[in-house]
């Protein structure tokens, strides 16, 4: 079922997309394919385009910086500021929203944001018994390919994450301003309000944050380990 044809699924489908894009643009999710078995690797992992390789290198540097501050408890120094870009293929977007029994009707999406994280907040998240981290507002801009021309969407998130003993235990995305064509904006706002009241994606956000600071940080450990 195409994303926009079923009115009951509009908010969920668009919100699920924005949620996934936000995490990919930011540090909370590793989006590269996991290593496959040698005999299946060629079929399981598509080859990255030059554009995707460049984006991956940029994200890896930012990931190593964040992981190093967190795991080494390095509170002194400059805060994190990384320009991060992520392209999503149509088939990847389809897989993301398939749980809602809907499909992605457009082409690839390319999203960008400036990651801004306080250094002392990252260090305290692992060092203190409990910490509620209020993260600065992040503006995420996505350009989506369509037959009639690109479709641009921009939205603000001001996340709040509570850590206990170095692990995330709760999170709120903190939706703010949304700039998009009227139909998409209406659907996103409906989903954003539902998330604010009912914590629709809170569990997924928490899981992704904890995965980032464990599994994903290990992927770049050589770059940050003392």
Structural domain harbouring 187: 7-30+47-221
42 part of a folded domain: no
CA 132 vs CA 67, 81, 156: distances in Å: 18, 20, 20
**Between 16 and 137, residue with greater pLDDT:** 137
Q: Strand, helix or coil at 74?
A: coil
pLDDT at 24: 45
Is residue 171 domain-resident?
yes
pLDDT tens per residue, range 203-217? 778 888 898 999 989
The mean pLDDT value for 185-213 works out to: 69
Query: Which CA distances in Å does 196 have to 12, 19, 28, 157?
Result: 14, 13, 19, 12
1 lies in a domain?
no
Query: Rounded to whole angstroms, how far apart are CA atoms 28 and 57?
Result: 16
Whether the per-residue pLDDT at 56 is higher than 80: the answer is yes
Q: What are phi and psi of 155, to 5 degrees?
A: -150, 155
Q: Is the pLDDT of residue 187 over 80?
A: no
- Alpha carbons 127 and 131: distance in angstroms, whole number: 9
* For the chain, percent of residues with pLDDT exceeding 70: 67
Mean model confidence pLDDT for the chain: 76
Q: Work out the angle between the directed axes of helices 202-211 and 10-25 (0-180°, nearest 10).
A: 20
Residues 6+ apart with CB under 8 A from 46: 33, 89
The domain tally of the chain equals 1
Q: What percent of the chain has pLDDT over 90?
A: 27
> Do the domain assignments include residue 136?
yes
* Cα separation, 48 vs 167, whole angstroms: 32
Residue 71 lies in a domain: yes
CA distances (Å), 56 to each of 20, 28, 49, 61, 189, in order?
17, 14, 10, 9, 30
* pLDDT > 90? residue 69: yes
């Amino acid at each position: 079922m195409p994303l926009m044809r079923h009115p009951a699924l509009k908010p969920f489908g668009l919100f699920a997309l924005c949620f996934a894009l936000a995490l990919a643009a930011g540090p909370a999710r590793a989006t590269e394919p996991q290593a496959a078995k040698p005999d299946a690797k060629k079929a399981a992992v598509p080859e990255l385009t030059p554009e995707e390789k460049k984006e991956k290198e940029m994200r890896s540097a930012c990931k190593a910086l964040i992981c190093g501050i967190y795991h080494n408890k390095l509170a002194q120094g400059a805060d994190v500021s990384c320009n991060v870009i992520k392209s999503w293929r149509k088939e990847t977007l389809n897989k993301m929203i398939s749980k809602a029994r809907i499909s992605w009707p457009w082409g690839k999406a390319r999203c960008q944001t400036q990651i801004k994280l306080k250094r002392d907040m990252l260090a305290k998240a692992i060092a203190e018994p409990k910490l509620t981290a209020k993260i600065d507002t992040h503006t995420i801009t996505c350009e989506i390919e369509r037959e009639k021309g690109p479709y641009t969407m921009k939205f603000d998130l001001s996340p709040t994450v509570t850590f206990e003993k170095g692990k995330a235990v709760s999170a709120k995305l903190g939706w703010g301003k949304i700039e998009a064509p009227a139909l998409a904006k209406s659907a996103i706002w409906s989903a954003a309000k539902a998330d604010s009241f009912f914590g629709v994606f809170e569990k997924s956000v928490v899981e992704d944050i904890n995965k980032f600071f464990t599994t994903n940080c290990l992927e770049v450990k050589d770059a940050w380990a003392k």
